[in-house]
Chains A and B, each alone.
Chain A
Amino acid sequence: MLKQILVQARGLGRQFGANRAIQDLDLTLRRGEVLGLLGLNGAGKSTALRLLTGTLAPSTGDVSICGWDLAEYPMRAKRHLGFLPDSPPLYPELRVDEYLRHCARLRRIRRSSLPSAVARAKSRCGLTDCGGRVIGNLSLGYRQRVAIAQAIVHDPEVVILDEPTTALDPVQVREVRQLLAHLSEHCGVVFSSHLLAEVAEVCTHVHILHEGRTVHVAHLDALGGPRGSGGCLRVVLETPPPSDEILTLPGIDSVEVLSHGRIRVHHAPGVDPSADLVSHACLGNWGLRELTPERPELEQLFVELTVGQG
């Protein structure tokens, strides 16, 4: 059964003078999905996110959030929205608790629920001990955490984040990824990023923009589908058999022998030969050490669709 649609954009366009920043953007986000918006600098990612949040009005098309048209019912639509813009929207003179309370009030959280909402947001973003600190005195990484906390303080159904891991150290990046995964359990997340590995790890869908146009939309598991290739598996074997023996297994197109018992098995779209491989490895005593599904190279696809077209 299809999950509830949280964000729907149809024919979204935005023009700045003669420059068409976004053209004909169609986008659907369902509950439980994490949509990664990819593109080169200037591709229109931030503009697209601003259009989705209503901070910028579209020249064409419309957006609905949880069924509410953003242009017609902006107040109702924005209640379901949490947004982190590209530059953190912080008031440096406020303390973290004051700021988050203010943001929660802006999002119409009741006074009685403020302490619990602020505590929850701080806990999720690793700010539990920072409530009394002045935002202006925090490091860049902690400011970014505060900025993320404001986007989720009201427990929105749609979270839109513009490059959320900017200025974070590797540990914080990992925590944000975990947070995104946790958020996606009960809401929908749209975020933009330059880090392809991050998108590959966190997202369920990708939306690649180039010069304001959508050049590729895919479920991450079926990323290679449109290009006509299947998936592949990385296998590590202690005593690998000849490639021909592996090729006899159903659905396997080719075998790429790497080094030190590592092989890459390419298989047809829609076929998963993992079970066959495991059983044959046991029967043939191949010494199976590792079997990992490899996604088609997101980076390769991204380069083909953006740099290639440029």
Chain B
Amino acid sequence: MIAVIAKRELVGLLRAPAGWFTLAAVQALLAWLFVVLIEDYLAVQGSLPASGSSVGVTDLIVMPVLRAGGGLLLLFAPLLTMHAIAGERRAGTLNLLLSSPISLSQIVVGKYLAAVSLLGCIWVLIGAMVICLAVASDLDTGRVAVGMLGVALLTCTGVAAGLLTSCLVPQPTAAGIVALGLLIAGWMVGTGRETDNLVAILALTTHFDRMLSGLLNSADIAYFLILNVGCLGFAIHRLDCERHSAR
């Protein structure tokens, strides 16, 4: 049943301009950044050994691309999820789902997987860009792999938060704006703070940046998993409450 919901959601996303716009915009921005970073790297490449610096392609190209990719996917996720529940509710199709023999968790997880799959296309393209670099240079594969995992977890978190606001807010656009606000706050709040600060511990960037540095810490993985499961769980709970409270 999760697959049925996910398939329908994916078809809906791909037949609406928002899905293609999101994919095209994120990929265009990343491609532009990728080219700029390669040009910058080529400009300083010759002077790096002389200065005794240990940084290379991984630091100067791959990690900035992954950081930008993670940030963009996080911010574009609400565009895909804002209609997921709020749109169904508005169109009256939520009644179709609620009267069918499927559980609320199957509905929410199905929609979550659909949005994650679509944004996963961008994740794959980011991976393809990085692999292109591996052809001509030596990459720190372990660090790149952890970084890619970080991008994936961050994207999933954006989708889960978007789904939650889509359950909480009746208007799809308002749901998208609220999700965007929450995610930007989660991204910005930890910037420039010490990592042992409570606010920094709760911030998305703290954990994401640690993964980009190549550190695979179970606490960071757990942080993202808790956020994802928490948002999805709350979304399911909210839908159930709606059956008890809705007009």
Residues of A within 8 A of B (CB): 16, 50, 53-57, 74-76, 78-79, 81, 83, 85-91, 93-94, 98, 102-103, 105-108, 150
CB pairs A–B below 8 angstroms (25 shown): A54-B99, A55-B94, A55-B95, A55-B99, A56-B243, A57-B243, A57-B244, A74-B101, A74-B103, A75-B102, A78-B99, A81-B99, A83-B96, A85-B95, A86-B92, A87-B92, A89-B95, A98-B11, A103-B96, A105-B4, A106-B4, A106-B96, A106-B101, A108-B101, A150-B96
Indicate whether A94 sits within 8 Å of B99 (C-beta atoms), given known contacts A102-B4, A105-B4: no
Question: Which A residues are in CB contact (< 8 Å) with B4?
Answer: 102, 105-106
Question: Which B residues are in CB contact (< 8 Å) with A88?
Answer: 92
Q: Which of B12, B95, B98 contacts A91 (CB 8 A)?
A: B12
Question: Which A residues are in CB contact (< 8 Å) with B97?
Answer: 106
Bound-state Cα–Cα, A74 to B98, Å: 10
Bound-state Cα–Cα, A86 to B92, Å: 9
Bound-state Cα–Cα, A81 to B98, Å: 11
- B residues 62-110 in Cβ contact with A at 8 Å: 91-103
Q: Name the CB-closest residue of B to A82.
A: B99
Question: Which B residues are in CB contact (< 8 Å) with A75?
Answer: 101-103
Residues of B within 8 A of A (CB): 1, 4, 8, 11-12, 15-16, 91-103, 243-244, 246-247
Number of residue pairs across A and B with beta carbons under 8 Å?
A: 73
Bound-state Cα–Cα, A108 to B4, Å: 10
Q: Which 9 A-B pairs have the closest CB atoms?
A: A89-B96, A87-B92, A83-B99, A78-B101, A106-B100, A55-B98, A85-B95, A89-B93, A53-B99
Question: Which B residues are in CB contact (< 8 Å) with A150?
Answer: 96
Question: Which A residues are in CB contact (< 8 Å) with B247?
Answer: 16
Bound-state Cα–Cα, A164 to B98, Å: 19
Cβ-defined contact, B101 with A93, below 8 A: no
Q: How far is the CB of B4 from chain A (nearest CB, A)?
A: 5
Cβ-defined contact, A76 with B99, below 8 A: no
Q: Which one of B11, B97, B99 has the highest number of Cβ atoms from chain A below 10 Å of its Cβ?
A: B99
Cβ-defined contact, B246 with A56, below 8 A: yes
Bound-state Cα–Cα, A89 to B94, Å: 8
Indicate whether A93 sits within 8 Å of B16 (C-beta atoms), given known contacts A56-B243, A88-B92: yes
Bound-state Cα–Cα, A57 to B1, Å: 22
Question: Which B residues are in CB contact (< 8 Å) with A85?
Answer: 92, 95-96, 99
Question: Which B residues are in CB contact (< 8 Å) with A98?
Answer: 11
Q: Name the CB-closest residue of A to B4.
A: A105
Cβ-defined contact, A76 with B243, below 8 A: no
Question: Which B residues are in CB contact (< 8 Å) with A54?
Answer: 98-99, 243
Q: How far is the CB of A56 from chain B (nearest CB, A)?
A: 6
Question: Which A residues are in CB contact (< 8 Å) with B103?
Answer: 74-75
Q: Which of A50, A93, A107 contacts B100 (CB 8 A)?
A: A107
Bound-state Cα–Cα, A105 to B244, Å: 26
Indicate whether A94 sits within 8 Å of B95 (C-beta atoms), given known contacts A78-B101, A106-B100, A107-B100: no
Bound-state Cα–Cα, A81 to B99, Å: 8
Q: With contacts A78-B99, A89-B95, A90-B91 known, what are 11 further pairs, Cβ within 8 A?
A: A16-B247, A54-B243, A56-B246, A79-B101, A81-B99, A87-B92, A89-B91, A89-B93, A93-B15, A93-B16, A106-B96
